[in-house]
Amino acid sequence: MGLSLLLPRDDPRQSHRMKRFFMACKTSLIVVFLFVLYYRVGLLEFGALRNALAGMAAAIVVFYALLRSGVNQRFADPSLTVWMILAFTAVMLYVAWESHGERSLLVLIYLIPYMFGLFRLSSLQMLAPASVFLLGYALVLLKHGDSLSTTMLVLRWTVSAAVLLWFAVFAGYVAQLRKRLAHSNRDLQAALDHVHSIMAHDDLTGLYNRRRMNELLATEKTRCERGGDLFSVFILDLDRFKEINDGFGHAAGDEVLKGFAECMRHILRPSDFFGRIGGEEFLLLSTQTTLEGAMVLAERMRARCAAAGFPCLPQDWAVTVSIGVTQFRRGEAVDASLQRADSALYAAKQGGRNRVEMNA
C-alpha cells in the first residue's frame, strides 16, 4: 500500500519503470550488506564504506527524482538502466580502489546490478558500462597488483572481461527474443481484435450483429438503472424485401441491405448503436433520446430510405422501411422494451408500411 502511493497512477509505463527502480533499490541492499562485510573483515576502511554508501544513496535519490518528475522520458531509454548501471559502476570502482584485498570478488558483486540490463538492454548498451568497469578495473589492478605476477593480473582482467562480454552477447540474444515476442503479441492482438470484430459485426452490412446488440442493450439498461438518461429502441424492417429477392435475385437483395445500412449511418450519431438482427430486420439503440426525439429520428430514417436510390434496382422501384419505436422503462426487462417496439413495428406494417409507429 505504501509503495503504491509513490507510483504515478496516470501513466502505466512510468509506473512500471518505478517498480523496476524500486526492485533495483531493494537489490542494492544486498550490495550494501557485502560492502559492510568487506568493512567488518578489515578489507575496507570506515571512511571508504561511508563514502560508498553515501554515493549509492545520492544516486537513488537522483534517479527517483528523475523518474518521479518525468524528466526521464526525455532520454532515449526512459528507464535509465544504462545510467543506473554506470552510477553503480563508479561506486564499485571506488570500493575496489579503496579495498585492501580480494578485489576479484568485487567483480562478482558487480554482476548483481549489471544483470539488471540483461532483459532490457542491447549488446551495445551492455558494453558501455562493461567497458567503463573493465577500464577502471585495469587501473585498480595496475595500482594494487604489486603482489601478483603479470600473468595473474592479465588473467584476472581477462576472466572479468570474458564474463562481462558473455553477458553482453547474451543480452543481445534476449533482446532479439523480446522483439520476436513483441511482434508475436502484436500479431496475436490483431488476430484477437479481428475475431472480436467478426463476433460483433454482421458480415454483409458491417453493422453490429444480434449478439452484440443484446450486449449493448444490457449495458445501456445497467447504465440507465444507475441514474443515466433513458434510451429509445427502434425495430426497422424493409418493406416487401422478399419481392426484391424473388424479382431481382439475392445478390440485389444483398446490395439493398448494404446500401440501406450505409444510408442510415449518415443519419445516426456516434453514440447510437445500429445492428442487423435478422434477414431484413434492424435494431437501433438511441442513447439519451426521449420518445419524442426518437419519433423525429425515425421519421428522418424512413424518409431517407424512401428517397434513396439503389443501382441494383429499377429507378422507379422505391425501397421503404417500417419502424416501430419505444422507450426503455426503468425496472423492466430489455425483452419487454423489444416486445413493445416489435408491436409498434407490426402496427406500422398493418397501417400500410413505409410508416413510423410508437408504443409508449
> In the chain, where are the structural domains located?
4-192, 210-358
C-alpha cell at 324: 416501430
- Paired residues of 327 in beta bridges: 232
C-alpha cell at 58: 545520492
pLDDT in tens, 312-321: 888 888 899 9
Contacts for 4-8 with beta carbons within 8 Å, 24 or more apart? 6/68, 8/68, 8/70
Give the integer Cα–Cα distance in Å for 256 and 313: 8
Buried b / exposed e over 198-215, threshold 16 CB at 10 Å, is: eebbbeebebbbeebbbe
80: left (phi over 0), alpha (psi -120 to 50) or beta: left
CA distances from residue 107 to 11, 102, 179 in whole angstroms, order as listed: 37, 10, 30
Residue range 242-255: average pLDDT? 93
Angle CA(134)–CA(138)–CA(143) in degrees, nearest 5? 150
CA distances from residue 223 to 210, 226, 287, 337, 338 in whole angstroms, order as listed: 20, 5, 10, 16, 18
Q: How confident is the model at residue 7 (pLDDT cuts 50, 70, 90)?
A: low
pLDDT in tens, 195-220: 877 788 998 999 999 999 999 999 99
Q: Are strands 321-327 and 356-358 parallel, antiparallel or unpaired?
A: parallel
pLDDT in tens, 31-49: 999 999 999 999 999 999 9
Alpha helices in the chain (DSSP H): 12-40, 46-69, 81-98, 104-114, 123-144, 150-200, 210-225, 241-248, 250-265, 291-307, 334-350
**281 contacts 348 by C-beta, under 8 angstroms:** no
How far, rounded to the nearest angstrom, does the alpha carbon of residue 341 sit from its chain's CA centroid? 39
- DSSP letter at 283 equals E
- DSSP letter at 284 equals E
Q: What is the mean pLDDT of the chain?
A: 89
pLDDT at 59: 93
C-alpha cell at 107: 567483480
Instruction: Judge whether residue 2 has pLDDT over 60.
Output: no
pLDDT at 156: 85
What is the pTM (predicted TM-score) of this model? Answer: 0.56
Dump the DSSP string for 289-346: --HHHHHHHHHHHHHHHHH---TTS-TT----EEEEEEE--TTS-HHHHHHHHHHHHH
Q: Which residue has the higher pLDDT, 322 or 142?
A: 322
Instruction: Judge whether residue 293 has pLDDT over 90.
Output: yes
Catalytic residues: 280
Give the integer Cα–Cα distance in Å for 256 and 250: 10
SS3 118: coil
Give the integer Cα–Cα distance in Å for 343 and 360: 11
Give the integer Cα–Cα distance in Å for 51 and 2: 29
C-alpha cell at 136: 577502471
C-alpha cell at 270: 456516434
pLDDT in tens, 320-360: 999 999 999 988 999 999 999 999 999 999 999 999 999 97
Give the integer Cα–Cα distance in Å for 84 and 201: 50
Q: How confident is the model at residue 61 (pLDDT cuts 50, 70, 90)?
A: very high
Does domain 210-358 bear CATH number 3.30.70.270?
Answer: yes
Angle CA(40)–CA(44)–CA(46) in degrees, nearest 5? 80
Q: Which residue has the higher pLDDT, 336 or 12?
A: 336
